[in-house]
Structure 1
Amino acid sequence: MLGGFRRPPWWAILLTAAAAVLFVRLGFWQLHRAAFKDELLRRYAAAAVAAPRDFAAVATQPPPDAYPRVQVQGRYLADRVYLLDNPRHDDRGGVEVYVPLRVAGGDRLLLADLGFLPGNGTDQTPQLPALPDGEQSLHGLYVPPPGHGFEMGGDALARQARWPKKTIYLDIGQVAADLGAKLYPRVLSLDADPASIYVRVHTLDFGDMPPARHRAYAFQWFSFAIAVVVILLVLNRKRGSRQPRPTDFR
């Protein structure tokens, strides 16, 4: 090779090229995921200010990767409250409150996300305000239920005899079994209300993998691709011949 480098073995060139191509492809995949999630965030933000649609049009078959803002009429099952105990809103603790809604003219229950109820820094469940009686007209985003990771401990709802029931993850199937009724596949995330005690912030929760994390991983993979090429060059750099010293001839 020119410029002070010797030709490396063919297998070293092949392995280096394969590793570099793999790392570059992984980097571009991470950038693709970041762009995809950025687009979801844009759609979510646009939906939050869109005119509400009729719920019946999207109830059982919501559009994939879209979050329609809907209008729903129904009655709360006020004695069947579920508390999600792992939302990431603040360091004072608190719970996300979900209540089944009997939709007018519907054959299923709709789980309504009332919002986050802040705690007071203790392990005690915050005091829940009373729910309104009678038929309600509600507006909000029709969104997938919150994601969850490994379900440690199994179904916590089945082990509780009284409401409100508390859980560290929300599984639509488990809630449906607990209620003994069919549920719609998504939840209604209610619009913000200045008069409400609940904190309602329309945002997508990507857990530990927001778009910025994907871009950081992309940079990491691209760095690995450069590193393997540099390592190959360093290992095959020609070393200058050693000049004899006078003492070598003694």
Structure 2
Amino acid sequence: MPIRIKIKNWKLALLAFVFFCLFCSLGTWQLSRANQKKILLKSFHERTLHAPFLAAHLNTAQDLRFYRTQLTGSFDNAHSILLDNKIFHGKVGYEVFTPFKADGIATPILIDRGFVPMGTNRKTLPPLTRIHGHVTLTGLINQPPAYVALGSMMESTTPVWPLRIEYINMDTLSTLLNQPLFPYIVTLAPTDAAAYAIEWQIVTMGPEKHQGYAVQWFALALTLLILFVALNRDRGQT
């Protein structure tokens, strides 16, 4: 016997419909995010198997993300950057970035050297190891870290090096350094001599977590639908 629905309160019915659509949309969005993460991970695994790019490749290739690279040059130790509020294996500290003047590339490249823990207080910055001379480094090419700008990048209008920042804005950093920066960064290999504690991690949430969230949103939509039908079922039907 088909179930007949008799709407008892149109305002509540409209509200239920809005939330039903919202829950379904959120579930669909999470599935889309899961698919994006799968594509991202597939690209990462495929490109890291490629032979390392040299400086000439970086000057000519357009899509460089996730390719390995090997560069020779020198670190600009006087202008290291400390990206604040980073967590690594439960410890709070900074992500260290140092400009690198690579042979064959006109603009410096920001090198992600990894994590250093915060000291006993925020007034004292952790000491940074300077890498002197002409060196060869290996790393993974990536995009600069994404950010949401809720305030100024720096605590002060006057830069003091090493520079503690809240997020990385390449244009602002280029202005501070008085020269443009390469549009990509390079994350050092964990075994590189210039690296601190570091991992090649490209996603903070895997596809399976997005799929789990999608199931939760669809379950909420189904629960809401069942409640709506139960509360508005025509009890007088025979």
**Normalization by structure 2: what TM-score?**
0.81
For residue 198 of structure 1, what is the aligned residue in structure 2?
196
For residue 154 of structure 2, what is the aligned residue in structure 1?
156
Is the Cα–Cα contact under 8 Å of residues 47 and 141 in structure 1 kept in the other structure?
A: no
User: 5+ residue gaps in structure 2?
Assistant: none
* Residues in 2 aligned to 1:97 and 1:19: alpha-carbon distance in whole angstroms: 44
For residue 188 of structure 1, what is the aligned residue in structure 2?
186
Q: Which amino acid aligns with 2:162?
A: P
Larger Rg: 1
When structure 1 is superposed on structure 2, of 21-30 and 217-226 the one drifting more is: 21-30
User: 5+ residue gaps in structure 1?
Assistant: 242-250
For residue 106 of structure 2, what is the aligned residue in structure 1?
107
Residues 81-96 of structure 1 aligned to structure 2 (within 5 Å): 81-96=80-95
* Residues in 1 aligned to 2:96 and 2:4: alpha-carbon distance in whole angstroms: 67
Q: Offset at 1:170?
A: 1.3
Percent identity of paired positions between Structure 1 and Structure 2: 28
For residue 236 of structure 1, what is the aligned residue in structure 2?
232
C-alpha root-mean-square deviation of aligned residues, in Å? Answer: 3.2
Q: Offset at 1:218?
A: 1.1
Deviation digits for residues 182-221 of structure 1, max 9, x if unmatched?
1111101111117556112000244xx6535422431232
Is the Cα–Cα contact under 8 Å of residues 137 and 192 in structure 2 kept in the other structure?
A: no
Residues 36-55 of structure 1 aligned to structure 2 (within 5 Å): 36-55=36-55
* Residues in 2 aligned to 1:18 and 1:145: alpha-carbon distance in whole angstroms: 38
Is the Cα–Cα contact under 8 Å of residues 27 and 217 in structure 2 kept in the other structure?
A: yes
Q: Secondary structure at the match of 1:88?
A: strand
Residues 51-130 of structure 1 aligned to structure 2 (within 5 Å): 51-59=51-59, 62-63=62-63, 66-119=65-118, 122-123=121-122, 124-130=124-130
Match of 1:211 among 184, 207, 212: 207
For residue 222 of structure 2, what is the aligned residue in structure 1?
226
Q: Offset at 1:60?
A: 6.8
**Normalization by structure 1: what TM-score?**
0.77
* Residues in 2 aligned to 1:156 and 1:178: alpha-carbon distance in whole angstroms: 11
Q: Which amino acid aligns with 1:155?
A: M
* Residues in 1 aligned to 2:26 and 2:55: alpha-carbon distance in whole angstroms: 40
Q: Offset at 1:176?
A: 0.6
Is the Cα–Cα contact under 8 Å of residues 5 and 234 in structure 2 kept in the other structure?
A: no
